[in-house]
């Protein structure tokens, strides 16, 4: 089942639990707007290259649409559609005043030079600039993009619309980015994991962790868990996977990575086959890379007691069923990785106010938002006698449905 079919299935299940009217259910599922553009750029060698870019704007009942832009070879319209829909439910779960959107360009960022990436980002922005904006749709980083990508979008957009820092979040601090945004998704993962473990009388410091992905989300999650005394015993990225039963030295691994080293050349760990990573013995498994990595093939062998979905849609529905039957507790993406969009919201607010918060305030507010969402999520689980994923979906879908009904249907 692809990501869109799986996300829509979860939505329909939540709509049924909530007893939503069928017309409303249908209208909430259909995206507001789907944009597909061709982006042709001159490569550094003088040849031309074309890439397809997408932006799906799913829903704006609760506010401007919000969501990241992904650069990855596997970007396709159905996946972007699913990720945009997830953003609608995620912003509602987090109680930030946004709808949902997502974008992507089918490309391999590692195979493009910095100037090719800049040209591609600027051409994409030229093609979508009149459909995004501070009060319509606000992009942010996702896989394969970063603060520099956001700086180019902000600059290109501002050529058409005047100085507009709040059109994107996740910007460099020097251009109006928020302190704490770079770490925010990983920090939110830490706060969400702490809240979940506490329900079971456990804590970060007494637990072992396996993390897939060592990019923005994975590396921050690993560092913050390590700082809190958690033992990260295995970790992997595209270049390979390693383990150390005594706990990996995460600051040393960060240094190794920042100096251009590959995972498998890190001396503080033993190389393992990447297929072993997700089924490695541990208390808590945190996928922080691609979607669909937990599936019917590997789910029966998962040994973790808790899965924290830091990636978007890492667990396909078949794996979800298998894990539930095995008694594995899965903390769903639309709550677990919402720290990124929460601090994006703080960045947008700061840009509009023209006032910068200190990092302590950002982290304190993030903690409040994550804890409050967890309490509301738990209440929905109790009300509908459902698991955490359905608790999060019913919470998000109900808030969007209420906003839609309050705004009214009459033309
Ligand atoms: N950035 C954000 O604020 C948010 C991100 N997310 C989600 O978190 C996930 C990660 O995003 P982010 O950290 O920003 O992305 P990055 O591009 O910064 O990092 C992605 C990481 O995943 C690794 N990776 C890619 N493919 C594989 C694979 N097949 N096997 C193992 N590792 C792999 C990459 O390895 P390598 O470095 O070797 O290429 C890299 O370490 C995505 O699902 C994203 O949608 C969710 C909410 C917010
Ligand atoms: O920070 C944001 O606006 C969105 C981040 C994102 O794309 C996500 O949460 O999946």
Contacts of 21 (CB under 8 A, 6+ apart): none
ipTM above 0.95, yes or no: yes
Dump pLDDT digits (tens) for 103-139. 999 999 999 999 999 999 999 999 999 999 999 999 9
Please give the distance, rounded to the nearest whole angstrom, from the Cα atom of residue 26 to the centre of ligand 2: 25
**pLDDT at site 174:** 98
Closest CA to 312 of 16, 137, 70: 70
Dump pLDDT digits (tens) for 205-261. 989 999 999 999 999 999 999 999 999 999 999 999 999 999 999 999 999 999 999
Count of helices and strands (H, E) across the chain: 14, 12
Which ligand number lies closest to the CA of residue 99? 2
Question: What is the pLDDT confidence band of residue 198, given thresholds at 50, 70 and 90?
Answer: very high
Query: Residue 1 pLDDT more than 90?
Result: no
Closest CA to 140 of 374, 397, 338: 338
- What's the whole-number mean pLDDT along residues 268-285? 97
Dump pLDDT digits (tens) for 389-398. 999 999 999 9
Q: State the Cα–Cα distance between residues 126 and 107, nearest whole angstrom.
A: 18
Residues flanking ligand 1, CB < 6 Å: 141-144, 185, 212-218, 236-239, 288-290, 310-312, 337, 340
**102 in active site:** yes
**pLDDT at site 410:** 73
**pLDDT at site 180:** 98
**What does the mean pLDDT of the chain come to?**
97
Closest CA to 29 of 10, 56, 14, 11: 11
Domain boundaries, the chain: 32-173, 182-336
Q: Taking the CA atoms of the chain, what radius of gyration do you get in angstroms? A: 20
Could you give the percent of the chain with pLDDT greater than 90? 99
Identical fold for domains 32-173 and 182-336, yes or no, is yes
Query: Residue 322 pLDDT more than 90?
Result: yes
Q: State the Cα–Cα distance between residues 33 and 130, nearest whole angstrom.
A: 13
Please give the distance, rounded to the nearest whole angstrom, from the Cα atom of residue 141 to the centre of ligand 1: 11
Query: Residue 370 pLDDT more than 70?
Result: yes
The number of C-alpha atoms within 13 Å of 9 and in the hemisphere containing its C-beta is 11
Please give the distance, rounded to the nearest whole angstrom, from the Cα atom of residue 145 to the centre of ligand 1: 10
**pLDDT at site 411:** 66
Specify whether the backbone of 408 is left (phi greater than 0), alpha (psi in -120 to 50) or beta: left
- What's the whole-number mean pLDDT along residues 258-273? 95
Strands, E assignment, 17-99:
33-42, 48-59, 65-72
- What's the whole-number mean pLDDT along residues 8-24? 97
- What's the whole-number mean pLDDT along residues 34-56? 98
| 54 close to 103: Cβ distance less than 8 angstroms | yes
**CA 402 to chain CA mean position, Å:** 25
b/e map of 277-296 (b: 16 or more CB within 10 Å)?
bbbbebbbbbbbbbbbbbbe
**pLDDT at site 376:** 98
Which residue's alpha carbon is at the smallest distance from atom 43 of ligand 1?
311
**How is domain 32-173 classified at the CATH fold level?**
Rossmann fold (3.40.50)
Which residue's alpha carbon is at the smallest distance from atom 4 of ligand 2?
67
**Ligand 2 atom with minimal separation from the 338 CA:** 9
CATH superfamily, with its number, for domain 182-336 = NAD(P)-binding Rossmann-like Domain (3.40.50.720)
Query: Residue 167 pLDDT more than 70?
Result: yes
Q: Residue 146: helix, strand or coil by DSSP?
A: coil
**pLDDT at site 267:** 94
**pLDDT at site 409:** 78
- What's the whole-number mean pLDDT along residues 351-363? 98
Which residue's alpha carbon is at the smallest distance from atom 1 of ligand 2?
341
Catalytic residue among 66, 90, 102, 231: 102
Contacts of 316 (CB under 8 A, 6+ apart): 1, 6, 292, 294, 295, 296
Query: Residue 143 pLDDT more than 80?
Result: yes
Query: Residue 43 pLDDT more than 90?
Result: yes
Please give the distance, rounded to the nearest whole angstrom, from the Cα atom of residue 403 to the centre of ligand 2: 21
């Amino acid at each position: 089942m692809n990501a869109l079919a799986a996300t829509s299935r979860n939505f329909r299940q939540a709509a049924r639990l909530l007893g939503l009217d069928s017309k409303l259910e249908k209208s909430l599922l259909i995206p507001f707007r789907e944009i597909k553009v061709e982006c042709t750029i001159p490569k550094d060698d003088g040849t031309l290259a074309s890439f397809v870019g997408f932006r799906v704007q799913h829903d704006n009942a609760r506010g401007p649409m919000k969501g990241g832009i992904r650069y990855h070879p596997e970007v396709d319209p159905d996946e972007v559609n699913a990720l945009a829909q997830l953003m609608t439910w995620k912003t509602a779960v987090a109680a930030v005043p946004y709808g949902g959107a997502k974008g992507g360009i089918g490309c391999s960022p590692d195979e493009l030079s910095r100037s090719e990436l800049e040209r591609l980002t600027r051409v994409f922005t030229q093609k979508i600039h009149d459909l995004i904006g501070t009060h319509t749709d606000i992009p942010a980083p996702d896989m394969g993009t970063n603060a520099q990508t956001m700086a180019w979008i902000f600059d290109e957009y501002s050529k058409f619309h005047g100085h507009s820092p709040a059109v994107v979040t996740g910007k460099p601090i020097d251009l109006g980015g928020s302190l704490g945004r770079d770490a925010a998704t990983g920090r939110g993962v830490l706060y969400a994991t702490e809240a979940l473990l506490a329900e079971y009388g456990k804590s970060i410091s007494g637990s072992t962790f396996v993390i897939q992905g060592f990019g923005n989300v994975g590396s921050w999650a690993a560092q913050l868990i390590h700082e809190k005394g958690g033992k990260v015993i295995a970790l992997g990225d595209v270049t390979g996977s390693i383990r150390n039963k005594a706990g990996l030295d995460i600051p040393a691994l960060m240094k190794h990575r920042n100096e251009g080293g590959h995972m498998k050349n890190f001396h503080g760990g033993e190389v393992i086959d990447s297929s072993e990573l997700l089924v490695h013995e541990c208390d808590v498994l945190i996928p922080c890379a691609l979607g669909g990595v937990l599936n019917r093939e590997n789910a029966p062998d998962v040994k973790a007691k808790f899965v924290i979905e830091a990636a978007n849609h890492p667990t396909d529905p078949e794996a979800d069923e298998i894990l539930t039957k095995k008694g594995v507790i899965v903390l769903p993406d639309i709550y677990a990785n919402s720290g990124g969009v929460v601090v994006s919201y703080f960045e947008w607010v700061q840009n509009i106010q023209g006032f910068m918060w200190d990092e302590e305030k950002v982290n304190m507010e993030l903690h409040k938002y994550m804890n409050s969402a967890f309490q509301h999520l738990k209440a929905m689980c109790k009300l509908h006698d459902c698991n955490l994923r359905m608790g999060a979906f019913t919470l998000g879908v109900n808030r969007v449905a209420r906003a839609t009904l309050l705004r009214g249907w009459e033309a």
